[in-house]
Amino acid sequence: MTIRRALATCGLACLSLLSAPPAAAESYRTGACGDFTVAVIPDTQNYVDYRHQKWSGFPFDAVEQYYAQMRWIADNARSAGGDIVFATHVGDVWQHYSAWMDPEHAARGFKWIPNGGSEVAMSPKVHTRAFEIPVAVQGFELIAGKLPFSVVPGNHDMDALWTDPTHPPQPETGAAGIRHVGGLTGFQSAFSDTSPFFAGQPWYVASHDKGADSAQIFTAGKCRFLHIGLQYHAPDASLAWAAGVIARYAGLPTIVSTHDYLGRDGKRHLKSNPRNSILDPRDNDPEMIWDEFISRHDQIFMVLSGHVGGQGFSVATNRAGNPVYQVMADYQGRGQTAREAGADGQQVGDGWMRLMQFDLDADRPSVRVRTYSTHYGKFASDLPTYAEWYKAHDNQSALTDADYLKRDSFTIELTDFHRRFGAPGEVRRRR
């Protein structure tokens, strides 16, 4: 990606951000941050899947597990006396696609054939717009007004999943062909920058592509942080826009959320199918997003993602020589609650999400990462059967139960944080 090509596709929105002078870059803190938590909501697609509701013959309404997650976040928000100051949904809010092909790619000359091997692409389109998107919105209504939050589109939140006719499936070899996703009208109908969730909110500070990419400022005590949400396989224009946001809020510790980024092995994920960057020169896979954006901006210290069932963690070194903490969690494939209800083999999610508790006032700043189920009312570390239930499904059978649990209950030592952003009591000004 070149800056010229990115600006050509991004247009005036990115030009205005990049030409604006950086904010007066004082330290992100004017005093103590206090302990605070960021809630990470992994893929919720199986909760809102129309097939996982009583009216479709499922033994219970799986959407209630999703609502329970959102109520718990609201009840534990700082505004309600808790310690959660920000929530980020890492994408795949709902399950099914709502169109055969999106008009934008059709207008650019892309051809398509139906993806016959994918239930989510071939399902009745009416259920996505009539049920799945509305109940997803109802979930966010439970946290609206309680705390700042972000939601990014995953591949399932795009309008269409289609197959490139020049790379069709090959049943004789098992090759799935090359698929692409496109279209954001469904996502924008729910989470655009003009929606009641975000319009007029002082913490919602920037957006691009009608809210498919967005930026938020959240506070904890006397500290401010920047969060940037990027759409699935963020195109060049999205990365150029995000670079402008970084320039505008220079010096603020920054977290990036995007749907597909890290794999279970801690490496940036390159096995996704669809993988848009194969077909579309505007799109960027996780390695490209690292090379062209994340690694170039030293104030980005953490990247959060989902998409890949299970958990992943690694530390990468950016171009300034500083660490970037990469964290992945996706629990959509868990089905213990379905098993208990007589629907063995069905995947729901079981109410699991990530809670990241920050302690930035200590001499050794850290983030305590824990995994909590609002259905079972327990942390993973408090559930004796946790590994028995989930280890095999997460393709981690080779691990001991204790080592498997460590993937969902661990501490990140932010050894560089005070040096990069300022220690307690220290106020710096950059020009």
Q: Residue 219 pairs with which residues in a beta bridge?
A: 224
Question: Per-residue pLDDT averaged across 143-167, rounded?
Answer: 95
Residue 337's identity, in one-letter code, is T
Could you read off the pLDDT of 410-430 as tens digits, one per residue? 999 999 999 999 988 765 544
| Integer Cα distance of 218 and 196 in angstroms | 18
Q: Which of 306, 255, 303, 222 is nearest to 36 (CA)?
A: 222
Could you read off the pLDDT of 169-185 as tens digits, one per residue? 777 766 677 888 999 99
Q: Residue 317 pairs with which residues in a beta bridge?
A: 323
Q: How many residues does the chain have?
A: 431
Domain 3-20+36-423: which CATH number of 3.60.21.10, 3.20.20.70, 3.90.190.10, 3.40.50.300: 3.60.21.10
Contact present, 157 and 91 (Cβ < 8 Å): yes
Residue with tokens 């505004």: 79
Q: Return the percentage of the chain with pLDDT > 70, whole number.
A: 91
Share of the chain residues as helix, strand and coil, in percent rounded to the nearest 5: 30, 25, 45
Q: How many CA atoms lie within 13 A of 13 on its CB side?
A: 19
The domain spans of the chain are 3-20+36-423
For residue 16, the model assigns a pLDDT of 45
The yes-or-no verdict on residue 160 having pLDDT over 50 is: yes
Could you read off the pLDDT of 249-280 as tens digits, one per residue? 999 999 999 999 999 999 998 876 666 778 88
| Integer Cα distance of 350 and 57 in angstroms | 19
Tokens (6 digits) for 53: 């509701």
Task: Calculate the average pLDDT of the chain.
Answer: 91
The rounded Cα 193 to chain-centroid distance in angstroms is 17
Residue with tokens 């972000």: 150
- Per-residue pLDDT band for 11 (boundaries 50, 70, 90) equals low
pTM metric for this prediction: 0.93
Contact present, 55 and 127 (Cβ < 8 Å): no
Higher pLDDT, 187 or 9: 187
For residue 174, the model assigns a pLDDT of 64
Q: Return the percentage of the chain with pLDDT > 90, whole number.
A: 80
* Cβ neighbours for 390, distance < 8 A, ≥ 6 positions apart: 334, 336, 404
* Cβ neighbours for 345, distance < 8 A, ≥ 6 positions apart: 335, 338, 339
CA distances from 182 to 48, 132, 234, 282, 417 (A): 21, 18, 12, 12, 38
Tokens (6 digits) for 36: 């605070």
Residue 162's identity, in one-letter code, is W
Could you read off the pLDDT of 117-137 as tens digits, one per residue? 788 888 888 999 999 999 999
* Cβ neighbours for 364, distance < 8 A, ≥ 6 positions apart: 413, 415
For residue 394, the model assigns a pLDDT of 87
C-alpha Rg value of the chain to the nearest Å: 21
